[in-house]
Amino acid sequence: MFVRAPRGAVLPFARLRYSRRCFSSRPSDGEVLAQLHEQLPRLHEATLPQFAPIWHAMVDAVAAQQARPRVVLDLASGAGEPALTLARRFPSAEIVVSDHDEGMLAIARHRIAAEFASPPGRVTAHQIDLNSLSSLAGDSGGEGLRCDAVTCSLGLFMLPPAALVPCLGGIHQLLTPGGHLCASVWEGPVPLIELGRRCLNAALTRAAPEPEPEP
Amino acid sequence: MLGRASPPPLPFEPASLGGGRADAVLTAAGFVQPAAGHDATGELRLSLGAAGSDEAWQVALLPVMGALATLAEEQRPHAAVFARARDAFEAEVARGVDVSVDAATGQVVLAPMRFRLLSVVKSN
């Protein structure tokens, strides 16, 4: 969940790309970024399973509504959840994993290749933006995608308020009649986000920058 | 000197759709029929990693890592944006409100978080 967000807000891999020499006793920002770039898949691997209670609640809700969905689209999947949990629960369903961030999709594709290589094409990953679902449904011509269920775990809240109804309207268009939308949202305070905000503030306002190194 | 007076705002409110506030937008989008599990809530407990480890602060700050990276790119090379963020994280752990060390395991753990399901169907 928490590894995806609108562009520039949360962990865009493209930002974790540059490295600089370290001249001080503490690692430079460039060194930390380079380290993070290497560590991200492992950090996700260590963290993702802890979100399983949310995915299982969502998959249970989908199963209670539809015994055998044919096509399920998971939006803002990040590293591939709850899509891959859905793929295990519904072994005959076509599962579409999606996210706007190619870096996250790369992790999802790696997981798909490891577990869902056969039959090929049953579980696939695609770059899909929450703001362009109507065109995915065929608004701009063409046949368009149709789904029996759409899921989105901890993704909808990242949309600006004005984009929310159009996004949900796009999901409505994507669903077949009787189709099911199941999403998870945060309820009440979210310590993970609040903690991040405070640390971000502190990164600006705390100690003065370290001195320039001696040449 | 740092180049910004305030951090880049996070462009979302995490709990904006909690507490039943999503129902109005779901209805506006055409979803008028609740389905199994609608409004069910649950609790999530996250362990971030061993106290003092790189993993703990890196996992904790994943939600704002993009913003930190933006700041780091805007600052001088030695602004130590990440080092200060880590210091702030360790101070938060010591404060022990939203994040603390589990004495039994030595793991840094977050205060429990709650989630809600939105479950609706498209009318036939």
pLDDT digits (tens, 9 = 90+) for A102-112: 989 999 999 99
Comparing alpha-carbon positions, the chain B residue that sits nearest to A194 is B98
Q: Is A182 within 8 Å of B42 (Cβ atoms)?
A: no
* Degrees to nearest 5, angle at CA B115 with B109 and B117: 155
Contacts of B92 in chain A (CB under 8 A): 195, 198-199
Q: Is A209 within 8 Å of B80 (Cβ atoms)?
A: yes
- Burial A165-198, CB ≥16 within 10 A → b, else e: bbbbbbbbbbbeeebbbbbbbbbeebbbbbbbbb
User: In the structure encoding, which two tokens stand for residue A46, read together?
Assistant: 């260590």
Q: Is the pLDDT of residue A13 over 50?
A: no
Contacts of B31 in chain A (CB under 8 A): 168, 172, 181
The residues in A 159-188 lying below 8 A from B, measured between CB atoms, are 159-161, 164-165, 168-169, 171-172, 175-188
Specify the length of chain A in residues: 215
pLDDT digits (tens, 9 = 90+) for B65-113: 888 888 888 876 667 899 999 999 999 999 999 999 999 999 999 999 9
Contacts of B13 in chain A (CB under 8 A): 157
Q: Is the pLDDT of residue A137 over 60?
A: yes
User: In the structure encoding, which two tokens stand for residue A143, read together?
Assistant: 């046949």
Residue A117, CA atoms < 13 Å, CB-side half-sphere:
4
* DSSP codes, A38-100: HHHHHHHHHHGGGGHHHHHHHHHHHHHH-SS-SEEEEES-TTTTTHHHHHHH-TTSEEEEEES
pTM (2 d.p.): 0.85
Run of H or E residues at B119: strand B113-121
DSSP H helices, B1-118, are: 22-28, 54-60, 65-74, 81-95
- Kindly indicate the confidence band of residue A98, based on its pLDDT and cuts at 50, 70 and 90: very high
Q: Is B73 helix (H, G, I), strand (E, B) or coil?
A: helix
The residues in A 22-81 lying below 8 A from B, measured between CB atoms, are 23-24, 26-30, 32-33, 35-36, 39, 43, 46-47, 50-51, 53-54, 57-58, 60-61, 64-65
Inter-chain residue contact B29 with A5, CB threshold 8 Å: no
Run of H or E residues at A198: helix A191-205
Average pLDDT over residues A170-178: 97
Between chain A and chain B, the number of residue pairs with CB atoms below 8 A apart is 301
Contacts of A43 in chain B (CB under 8 A): 55, 58-59, 62
Q: Is A202 on the interface with B (CB under 8 A)?
A: yes
Query: ipTM for the complex?
Result: 0.87
Interface test with B, best of A44, A168, A176, A214 (most B CBs within 10 A): A168
Per the DSSP assignment, residues forming a β-bridge with A74 are A97, A151
Query: Which domains occur in chain A, in start order?
Result: 51-184 (3.40.50.150)
